[in-house]
Amino acid sequence: MNSSKRRVWLVAALLSSGCAAHRIPGTDIEDNPDTRAILQVLERYRVAVETKDSNTLIGLVSPSFKDNAGTATPDDDLDYGGLQKNLPQRFAKIDDVHLDMNVRKIELKNDIASVIYYYTMSFRMPTLSSKVRTESDIKQMLLRREQGQWKITSGV
């Protein structure tokens, strides 16, 4: 390849890389203020679960929160009021909580976000057994921007 063709190729490569969206290191998630803010909410959520801090977790949730726990039966459905009432009781039943979250995808549309993540959670339920229980799955968490802050509307 002669020198002028090489320069044209180099300029084209530089221009095309300059137009590509920046990604959060180690992910395929676009790096922008919204995705960073959403990831901060998820990290605060993770820490709140591990420390069993129901007040912090409830503070991350929208008053419009509704969650069907992934089931068709309404027995385990939660809304904001139910979360406030039941979360401290649920946290009281578990010990030694560890939660890993691996965010796979964030989709944004105006003030609505959908987060797909893989989680692994280990915990003990001392009233039932001293054995550590582990669960893992892919989940979706929905968030909405309310008064400039991202709040969880479903998926805890």
For the chain, percent of residues with pLDDT exceeding 90 = 66
Cβ burial of 113 (10 Å; 0-12, 13-18, 19+) is buried
The predicted structure's pLDDT at residue 11: 45
Query: Is 121 or 73 the better-scoring residue by pLDDT?
Result: 121
Task: Please state the φ and ψ torsions of residue 4, each to the nearest 5 degrees.
Answer: -70, -35
The predicted structure's pLDDT at residue 59: 96
Q: Is the pLDDT of residue 13 over 90?
A: no
Eight-class DSSP state of 18 = H
- Mean of the per-residue pLDDT values of the chain: 85
Please state, in angstroms and rounded to a whole number, the distance separating the CA atoms of residues 6 and 29. Answer: 32
Tokens of 136: 């893992």
Q: Which domains does the chain have, with CATH numbers?
A: 32-154 (3.10.450.50)
pTM over 0.85: no
